[in-house]
Structure 1
Amino acid sequence: MDSGKIKVNALNKIVVCAYHNVGYRCIAELIRQGADIRMIFTHEDSPTEEIWFESVRQLAEKHYIPYMTSDINLPENAALLQEIAPDFILSFYYRNMIKPEILSLPGCGALNLHGSYLPRYRGRVPVNWAVINGETETGATLHYMVEKPDAGDIVDQEKVTIEFTDTSFDVFNKVTDAAVTVIARSWPLLVAGTAGRIPMDLKAGNYCGGRKPADGRIDWSKSAVQIYNLIRGVTHPYPGAFMFLNGKKVIIWQAWPVEGSGEPGKVVSAEPLMVGTGNGLLAIKKLQLEGEEETTAEGFSQQYQLAEKFE
């Protein structure tokens, strides 16, 4: 046996719903602890999405764990779950809302690992929202699932710091590490029946909806810091913040807020490329005309005649 493997209680049958790096890493931790995973529900990768994260399906195959990519809520999958009779259902970045009739099946409860320090940033893409809103910390939270999203009792949490230079990708990696810490700490307590339950105070938090690529359009009337937060919140591997130049879409991948003043959207300087905002200037570092290669601001300024204002 692997010396790093911890045996807790193989009698606790688990069904896991998982995707993305958080799903991969949390399943790997459960495997390390000797958990009895009877089935994994995951997703097919979308052809329109940049797949930069690890594959839950490949992890399941590696460890000979049965998996399905169909929705756990389908009637045939509900019947399968009744046959398995799991003690726990665990959800790690699974993208489908799990219906109450499924949540009621496991004998010991259904739990979700959420990528924020709940009750702050309940809902979709919590890491991106935290960065876009200029937060200085977030975290990972393990909580029981109820019909309302991200609203059940909290089992455990771990905070992470958001530095002013962090992108959403940087923060997502920190949150993933925090998620593994929470699972490593909590799973033995859940098995033993000694894990805590702290009621969720929804009034102390907020709920965020999902984001579409179109939501990345820059509003130059906002402050340089706000625009910078949007840029770092949706930069690689996400679709990016964008503007328009002479009717063509331009994605800004990297920028920095600086002191100064200028009319919102107006090019104050070509080299270095500085643009006025509602408060301060935005120094653009890397950008990309749609359909072209990403380039530095210096290269862009030399190649394209800049309009007086970005739209």
Structure 2
Amino acid sequence: MRLERYFKKPVAILFGYHDMGCAGLQSLLEAEYNVVAVFTHRNSDSEEIFFDSVAGQAEKLSIPVFFPDNVNESQCVELIKQLKPDYLFTLSYRQELTEEITQAATFGAHNIHASLLPAYRGRSHLNWVIINGEKHTGVTLHRVTRQKDAGPILAQAKVTIEKHDNALSLHKKLVQMTRARLPEWLRGLQQGTLIERIQDERLASCPGARQPDDGLINWKKSAIEIHNLIRGITYPWPGAYTMAGEKKLIIWESCIKESFSESQPGTIISLDPLLIACGVGVLEVKRGMCGEVRDSEAGAIVRELKAHCGMLLV
């Protein structure tokens, strides 16, 4: 058991962003860590801001906040060393820390990753688990090492992916799970009661960051695959899309119909409800964006597209 718990609060630096960064800051304070600095990112004008600000939370608590373009530049490294942290924690932080930074902490650097490692390392794990039709995901506390998301695991918690979940609802579940379990894990880390276990590389996967073209719907795929893509990147993510002539249709919400069609995949086979033939099965479009209106129901989409039965989406 680490005796520093009984003499002083352990000094921590948080590298965090988004709702997960906020959950991390709240959990550190609940677990009685002395957070001496928060490193985060400025919001981008091109990004849909639907999440809380860890910078705003830290500033209300008079915790110094830094927004470095490159956290690994010498000025930042020296500042981190001067703060003499016991622990470093990363949650949804978009820059990788060099060993010079991670080794500045007496008891090392740790990360919360929103998947059940070693599965779904890297970026966009939230989206990929839905796109790939997984039934479970979770959050993992692990030690930071040279290989991204591959360090020894100290704790995990599983989250069920329900059929009705989309990227936003699953994101909220993962944040809630982190907020519920992280204080307990942080206390265990401080007391030395968490046992590290090496990740099994045979179970490792890293789908990689999503690219814009990943959202293009391939109607030759099955209705279930297309439905999973739609719910995996629905608003406030960019959304799965298709083309109707020169018009772009982003689909926010869909459902699978238990029916069969011999029509070419991508063919509109009904206007009310709006049904599209897939490689296997039929998909109903319930909500989407076509033209200037961000969120339209199927009837408005039909009118905007001037859709008709037999029209082909590509």
Contact preservation (8 Å) 1:250, 1:288 = yes
1:11 CA displacement? 3.7
For residues 237-256 of structure 1, the aligned pairs below 5 Å read 237-256=236-255
Contact preservation (8 Å) 1:142, 1:182 = no
Among 26, 29, 37, which residue is 1:28 paired with?
26
Contact preservation (8 Å) 1:158, 1:181 = no
- The alpha-carbon distance between structure 1 residues 9 and 234, as it changes in their structure 2 partners (threshold 3 A), is farther
- Deviation track 1:106-130 (CA, whole Å, cap 9, x = no partner) reads 1101000000011111110111110
Q: Which residue of 1 aligns with 2:275?
A: 274
Contact preservation (8 Å) 2:30, 2:183 = no
1:9 CA displacement? 6.3
Runs of 4+ residues deviating >6 angstroms: none
For residues 1-311 of structure 1, the aligned pairs below 5 Å read 10-70=8-68, 71-259=70-258, 260-261=260-261, 262-306=263-307, 308-311=311-314
- The alpha-carbon distance between structure 1 residues 149 and 253, as it changes in their structure 2 partners (threshold 3 A), is same
- The alpha-carbon distance between structure 1 residues 298 and 109, as it changes in their structure 2 partners (threshold 3 A), is same
Q: Under a length normalisation based on structure 2, what TM-score does the superposition of the two structures give? A: 0.93
Contact preservation (8 Å) 1:10, 1:34 = no
1:25 CA displacement? 1.3
- Deviation track 1:120-163 (CA, whole Å, cap 9, x = no partner) reads 11110111110111101000000000111100000100000001
Contact preservation (8 Å) 1:103, 1:110 = yes
Q: Under a length normalisation based on structure 1, what TM-score does the superposition of the two structures give? A: 0.94
- Deviation track 1:230-280 (CA, whole Å, cap 9, x = no partner) reads 000011111111000121111011111112223200111111111011100
- Cα distance in 1 between the residues matched to 2:138 and 2:219: 30
1:303 CA displacement? 4.2
SS at match of 1:53: coil
- Number of positions where the alignment pairs a residue of Structure 1 with one of Structure 2: 305
Contact preservation (8 Å) 1:115, 1:127 = yes
- Cα distance in 1 between the residues matched to 2:225 and 2:65: 42
SS at match of 2:293: coil
Contact preservation (8 Å) 1:140, 1:182 = no
- The alpha-carbon distance between structure 1 residues 216 and 290, as it changes in their structure 2 partners (threshold 3 A), is farther
SS at match of 1:48: coil
Contact preservation (8 Å) 1:231, 1:241 = yes
- Cα distance in 2 between the residues matched to 1:292 and 1:237: 15
- The alpha-carbon distance between structure 1 residues 255 and 98, as it changes in their structure 2 partners (threshold 3 A), is same
- The alpha-carbon distance between structure 1 residues 105 and 283, as it changes in their structure 2 partners (threshold 3 A), is same
- Cα distance in 2 between the residues matched to 1:75 and 1:249: 46
Contact preservation (8 Å) 2:114, 2:138 = yes
- Cα distance in 2 between the residues matched to 1:212 and 1:8: 49
Contact preservation (8 Å) 2:13, 2:87 = yes
- The alpha-carbon distance between structure 1 residues 107 and 201, as it changes in their structure 2 partners (threshold 3 A), is same
- Cα distance in 2 between the residues matched to 1:272 and 1:11: 60
SS at match of 2:235: coil
1:198 CA displacement? 0.9
Q: Flag structure 2 segments of 5+ consecutive residues without an equivalent.
A: none
Contact preservation (8 Å) 1:143, 1:155 = yes
- The alpha-carbon distance between structure 1 residues 245 and 9, as it changes in their structure 2 partners (threshold 3 A), is farther
Matched AA of 2:305? Y
1:31 CA displacement? 1.2
- Cα distance in 2 between the residues matched to 1:89 and 1:143: 12
SS at match of 1:298: helix
- Cα distance in 2 between the residues matched to 1:150 and 1:234: 23
Matched AA of 2:108? G
1:96 CA displacement? 0.7
- The alpha-carbon distance between structure 1 residues 134 and 8, as it changes in their structure 2 partners (threshold 3 A), is farther
Q: Which residue of 2 aligns with 1:3?
A: none
- Cα distance in 2 between the residues matched to 1:11 and 1:139: 29
- The alpha-carbon distance between structure 1 residues 52 and 121, as it changes in their structure 2 partners (threshold 3 A), is same
Percentage of identical aligned residues:
34
